[in-house]
Structure 1
Amino acid sequence: MKLLWKLGKEAIKYRTLYIIAIFSTFALTLINLTAPKILSSMTALLEDNVNENTLKDIGTLTVILFVLYLLKILFRFLSNYLAHKAAWNLVEELRIRVYNRIQGFSMGFFSDKQTGDLMSRVVNDTATFELLYAHIIPEMITNVVTVVGVVIILLTINAKLALLTFIPIPFILFSGWIFATKVRPKFRVSQMAIAELNAKLQDNFSGVHEIQAFCQESYESEQVLKKAGVFTKSMLYALKLSAIFHPAVEFLSSIGTIIVVGFGGFLAFHGELSISDIVAFLLYLTLFYAPISGLARLLEEMQQAYAGAERVMMILDTPRDIKNAPNAKELTHVQGSITFDSVAFEYEKDVPIVKDIDFSCEPGQMIALVGPTGVGKTTLTQLISRFYDPTNGKILIDGIDIKEVTLESLRSNIAPVLQDTFLFNGTIGENIGYANSAADLDEIVAAAKAARIHDNIMEMPAGYHTKVGERGMRLSGGQKQRIAIARAILRKAPIIILDEATASVDVETEKEIQKAISDLAGSRTIVAIAHRLSTIKNADLILVLENGKVVQKGTHLELLEQEGLYKRLNLAQNNK
């Protein structure tokens, strides 16, 4: 009930459409309840001596019946279309809300999530709301009103026969409860299975190069088959239950018809019931048992919708751990000074990644982070952008705690260049311009020139309109890195973060990237992570990290004069 209440609140903004659809549903039900009565009255007229007045009455009833059937078309259209319109608008809104919710989660949320599963929640699970609001709820309203209306009418025609026809109902309801109990877990499994299948497919399509390179096509095909098999197995079990339940309900429903024909004929023989009343009973029983017979389908759809809705609400109810403080202010006129004050961080409780980090840099300075893999260098840069919050201590930009400013204003003043450069499946120009939607082509070209990539771009057939392919697969590693630097330059942010910007490029490309970085030095605050010490020789401050702590500080020359990790790293690289 709690979930249903939440779902109801989601749909309240479309109440006008739903009110008209529900009114049309009631009108449609009323017509359905009226039509058999008119047909019964026509039968009663034919039972008597047919004369001119009788034919006139039959003609009037025929016209009324014709008008009712025309109105039935109108109300069925309004009922179906408006309910679907409201439901699909709701699905669209929910898809955007779920996407925005996921998009706003911190990086910690994504650490144990699969992309395909999240896609399934946005696309597949939200679609079940259409099932709920356009099919299940309208049908339930129609069915309840129809059943109540038919019960009242049958009791007024002949209470004794009516009560006998109700005998199968408890058995139908009990079997429906058993069916729902058995089928619900299977629909939950099927929703999770389709999400896992999506996740596996997304993973495999992204890694198709590795699959082919290591000849793992057969293995991966088996893995996909297993994921698909879980979904098929759960669905087939649900369908088997349905295949048993449907005929059982139909059999129980047919008992009511047998009672009307058998006992109704007995009552007619004794003069307690007219032929027209038996006809009315049979017509109303069709209306009465139709919704009860459809109980199995409704229950199936309800369990399916419930399973999808649970997964959607789970996302919407997940709290954001990185969000704006209640009184967060805009970070403006940033100069670019950065201070770490006793900063510590851990992804898991009691497993510190970095601890007791203290340093400061002035606007326009370049600060470098070096050390072995896994000592927390990238973590420190992500803390600056508040992709995570420190476990202890605080980070200040221009003397302001970054927790006290809005996320958007903070991140708009920081331009990242990551080791694993991500490019969108668009043109080179679009990827550079992604950092600044207001930039024109001249500004994009200027940024590309500053990043030493303009000449490469102009050698391509379509220049800045060249498609890069998914994740930039049509470009080399060095080209992608320089496009990422151009993107960062175009952002015109006072702080630039370079995470292994030259890690996977050749010597010539490294020189080009170094020139681009040198041109930025002094005008922007640069935080650079580097394994190649040659790229950070001119840094104003180098922090050497080991086991999550800063073990050395200084310039390149100062650190070479000290015995320690930096000197050992420098010797190791120069002796290669």
Structure 2
Amino acid sequence: MGYLIKLVKMARPYWKYLIVSGISMLAITALNLLGPWLVRDLTGIITNISKYPNAKRMIINISLILILSYILRIVFQFLNSYLSHYAAWNLVAHVRTLVYSKLQQLSFGYFVDKQTGQLMSRVVNDTANFEVLIAHAVPDLFTNSLIILGVACILFIINPVLAALSLIPIPFLVLSGTVFAKKILPNFREAQKALADLNADLQDNLSGIREIQIFNKQEKELLKIKEKIYRHINALLSALKLSAVFHPTVSFLSSVGTVIVVSVGGLMALSGKVPVQDIVGFILYLSMFYQPVTQLSQVIENVQQALAGAERVFEILQTESEIKEKENAQKLKNVQGKITFENVSFSYNPEVQVLKNISFEIQPGQMVAFVGPTGVGKTTIMYLLNRFYDPDSGVIKIDDIDIKDVTLKSLHDNISMVMQDVFLFNGTVAQNIAYGKEDATMDEIIQAAKIACAHDFIQNLPQGYDTVIGERGVKLSGGQKQRLAIARAVLKNAPILILDEATSSVDTETEKEIQEAINNLAGTRTILIIAHRLTTVKKADKIIVLKDGEIVEMGTHEELFAKKGLYYHLCSVQLIDENDSLIREV
């Protein structure tokens, strides 16, 4: 009920449509109740025609009222059906928007153990069940309740004894419905989870289809997907098995009630205790009385399926982001680019500390490189600067302002980042470059591409800057994707530029061109570089060397090379002599 109440509150903008739909349902119910009563009156006229001198006129009037009721029922059925669906699908769209918006607000830590396909399933599949709940289950429950109440009143008006007898199966129907609801919900939960797992594996496999083919894993992956498909199907079949038992049980109990009324009512009619028209009317109303009761199973099934999805949707909506803005957070303005880390420590999990007491200061316009073996925390420093995570201890400042005191939007507006794992959207080259600056002119896009040494290869593409590059830039080489990412970061023109292995996928000649472009940017903004290929960092104003999450050396290339410490060792591995000439890379 808690989830149902939350959904009803979310549907507040569409209440007017639901109210009109509800009024239409009331009208439909009233019209449905009118039909059997008119048939009862008609039966009374025909069986006692001598008592009605104007019987012909009465029959014609009853016929006219019936046809009018049928016409009105069509109108109200249209209003009920369309408006309830209109409200329901708009609610689905609203909730999907809320869930996606919430996902965008959650910190990086939330996505570490989540699969994209699972989250997509919650946004699309689980929310779709709300339409069934709002447009079908709840209206059906409301309508059926009205019909049961209305018919019960009429039955007692016609004959209290027969009405009391017709209620005998009701306790058994309620009991079976309660048991059914408790049994079926776990099956729908499992079905929703299995569907999410299936979507997750499909998304992974379609993204990695080339690797599957290269390593000849088609059969293995097919078996894995097949297993997930049948896990989902079996969970649904378990729920349907319960439905297959419950539906006939409800029908049988309803039939027992009808048998009781027919037998007792027939005997009462024979003895003259009940008029024939009352028996006819009673039987007609009795079918209306048990019909909504028999539909209870389908309503319960729809409700349980929707609530199983609601649990998974509200789990996201109720998740608190690990990264929170202060209520009075200020905007980061007129950034010069000074960066300060003061005794910063961080761990992704309590067992392993990634950074230990990291302290350094970068002046505006400096180019600073971070080097060291893989896994020492270089990229983590960049994540902390962007506030993708918060440090366990210590303070991070930009222009002497704690980044926890500023809005996340203004923080990210002032930082451009080219990550090692480049992500490009399925759009044109120009759209991807201009992603960080929506109002960019074509001249600005081309200039950024030239700085990133991407202009020449873009011109050779089939449609130049209007070439669609495919999902994740699948139509481009690794080096081409990285240069587009650099162009995108350059065009954003933020005062802080982060290059995380930005030249790792380019050849030596292109690397030199990009390095020259980066050198041209030196002094115009603060540049932070992470690189394993040390030729990229030789001209940095400062090089920070990390080992086991700690800063072990800091200085210029010449200073660190002369110390013959870890940096010297890293250079020696790549065979760079003290005159800075590259002999070869290993």
- Using the alignment, how far apart are the partners of 2:227 and 2:309 within structure 1? 22
The residue that corresponds to 2:578 in the other structure is none
Report the residue type matching 2:84 in the other structure.
Answer: A
The residue that corresponds to 2:210 in the other structure is 209
- Using the alignment, how far apart are the partners of 2:148 and 2:49 within structure 1? 35
Report the residue type matching 1:25 in the other structure.
Answer: M
- What is the CA distance between 1:563 and its match in structure 2? 3.0
The residue that corresponds to 2:42 in the other structure is 42
- What is the CA distance between 1:191 and its match in structure 2? 0.2
The residue that corresponds to 2:547 in the other structure is 546
The residue that corresponds to 2:324 in the other structure is 323
The residue that corresponds to 1:137 in the other structure is 138
Report the residue type matching 1:7 in the other structure.
Answer: L
- Using the alignment, how far apart are the partners of 1:479 and 1:232 within structure 2? 43
SS in 2 for 1:438: coil
SS in 1 for 2:308: helix
Matches within 5 A, 1:346-495: 346-495=347-496
1:25 aligns with 2:59: no
- Using the alignment, how far apart are the partners of 2:326 and 2:562 within structure 1? 45
SS in 2 for 1:332: coil
1:564 aligns with 2:565: yes
Q: Which deviates the most, 255-264 or 106-115?
A: 255-264
- Using the alignment, how far apart are the partners of 1:375 and 1:280 within structure 2? 84
- Using the alignment, how far apart are the partners of 2:377 and 2:533 within structure 1? 17
SS in 1 for 2:563: coil
- Using the alignment, how far apart are the partners of 1:214 and 1:113 within structure 2? 25
- Using the alignment, how far apart are the partners of 2:390 and 2:8 within structure 1? 35
> Does the 8 Å contact 2:453/2:510 carry over to 1?
no
Report the residue type matching 2:433 in the other structure.
Answer: I
The residue that corresponds to 2:581 in the other structure is none
1:11 aligns with 2:11: yes
- Using the alignment, how far apart are the partners of 2:333 and 2:351 within structure 1? 36
- Using the alignment, how far apart are the partners of 1:462 and 1:85 within structure 2? 42
- What is the CA distance between 1:350 and its match in structure 2? 4.6
- What is the CA distance between 1:4 and its match in structure 2? 2.4
The residue that corresponds to 1:98 in the other structure is 99
- What is the CA distance between 1:60 and its match in structure 2? 1.1
SS in 1 for 2:553: strand
- Using the alignment, how far apart are the partners of 1:2 and 1:365 within structure 2? 55
SS in 2 for 1:426: coil
- What is the CA distance between 1:19 and its match in structure 2? 1.0
The residue that corresponds to 1:298 in the other structure is 299
- What is the CA distance between 1:158 and its match in structure 2? 0.8
SS in 1 for 2:354: strand
The residue that corresponds to 2:246 in the other structure is 245
- Using the alignment, how far apart are the partners of 1:193 and 1:516 within structure 2? 50
SS in 2 for 1:561: helix
- Using the alignment, how far apart are the partners of 1:272 and 1:75 within structure 2? 39
- Using the alignment, how far apart are the partners of 1:110 and 1:480 within structure 2? 24
- Using the alignment, how far apart are the partners of 2:278 and 2:228 within structure 1? 57
- Using the alignment, how far apart are the partners of 1:515 and 1:243 within structure 2? 72
- Using the alignment, how far apart are the partners of 1:515 and 1:130 within structure 2? 57
> Does the 8 Å contact 1:433/1:439 carry over to 2?
yes
The residue that corresponds to 2:270 in the other structure is 269
- What is the CA distance between 1:260 and its match in structure 2? 2.1
- 1:162-191 deviation line (CA, Å, top 9, x unaligned): 111111111122111222222111000000
The residue that corresponds to 2:59 in the other structure is 58
Report the residue type matching 2:3 in the other structure.
Answer: L
Report the residue type matching 1:287 in the other structure.
Answer: M
> Does the 8 Å contact 1:260/1:278 carry over to 2?
no
The residue that corresponds to 2:83 in the other structure is 82
Report the residue type matching 1:273 in the other structure.
Answer: V
- Using the alignment, how far apart are the partners of 1:459 and 1:30 within structure 2? 72
- What is the CA distance between 1:504 and its match in structure 2? 2.2
- What is the CA distance between 1:447 and its match in structure 2? 0.7
1:521 aligns with 2:526: no
- 1:334-353 deviation line (CA, Å, top 9, x unaligned): 11111111111111125211
- 1:75-131 deviation line (CA, Å, top 9, x unaligned): 111111111111100100110110110111111000000000000000000111111
1:108 aligns with 2:109: yes
Q: Which deviates the most, 52-61 or 134-143?
A: 52-61
SS in 2 for 1:367: strand
- Using the alignment, how far apart are the partners of 2:262 and 2:477 within structure 1? 81
Report the residue type matching 2:103 in the other structure.
Answer: I
- 1:6-45 deviation line (CA, Å, top 9, x unaligned): 2222122211111111111111111111221111111111
- Using the alignment, how far apart are the partners of 1:72 and 1:340 within structure 2? 72
- Using the alignment, how far apart are the partners of 2:316 and 2:479 within structure 1? 38
- What is the CA distance between 1:518 and its match in structure 2? 1.1
- 1:378-430 deviation line (CA, Å, top 9, x unaligned): 00001111111111111111111111111111101111111111111111111
Report the residue type matching 2:214 in the other structure.
Answer: A
Report the residue type matching 2:48 in the other structure.
Answer: D
- Using the alignment, how far apart are the partners of 1:458 and 1:10 within structure 2? 50
- Using the alignment, how far apart are the partners of 1:284 and 1:564 within structure 2? 94
Identity of aligned residues (%): 52
The residue that corresponds to 1:173 in the other structure is 174
Give 5+ residue unaligned stretches, structure 2: 576-583
SS in 1 for 2:336: coil
- 1:462-484 deviation line (CA, Å, top 9, x unaligned): 11011211111111111111111
- Using the alignment, how far apart are the partners of 1:263 and 1:145 within structure 2? 27
Q: CA RMSD in A?
A: 1.1
> Does the 8 Å contact 1:414/1:494 carry over to 2?
yes
- Using the alignment, how far apart are the partners of 1:508 and 1:422 within structure 2? 23
- 1:308-362 deviation line (CA, Å, top 9, x unaligned): 0100000000011113210011111111111111111111125211021111111
The residue that corresponds to 1:186 in the other structure is 187
- Using the alignment, how far apart are the partners of 1:363 and 1:528 within structure 2? 15
> Does the 8 Å contact 2:365/2:527 carry over to 1?
yes
Report the residue type matching 2:205 in the other structure.
Answer: N
SS in 2 for 1:528: strand
Q: Name segments (4+ residues, structure 1) moved above 6 Å.
A: none
The residue that corresponds to 2:580 in the other structure is none
- Using the alignment, how far apart are the partners of 2:428 and 2:4 within structure 1? 45
> Does the 8 Å contact 2:366/2:522 carry over to 1?
yes
- Using the alignment, how far apart are the partners of 1:178 and 1:418 within structure 2? 54
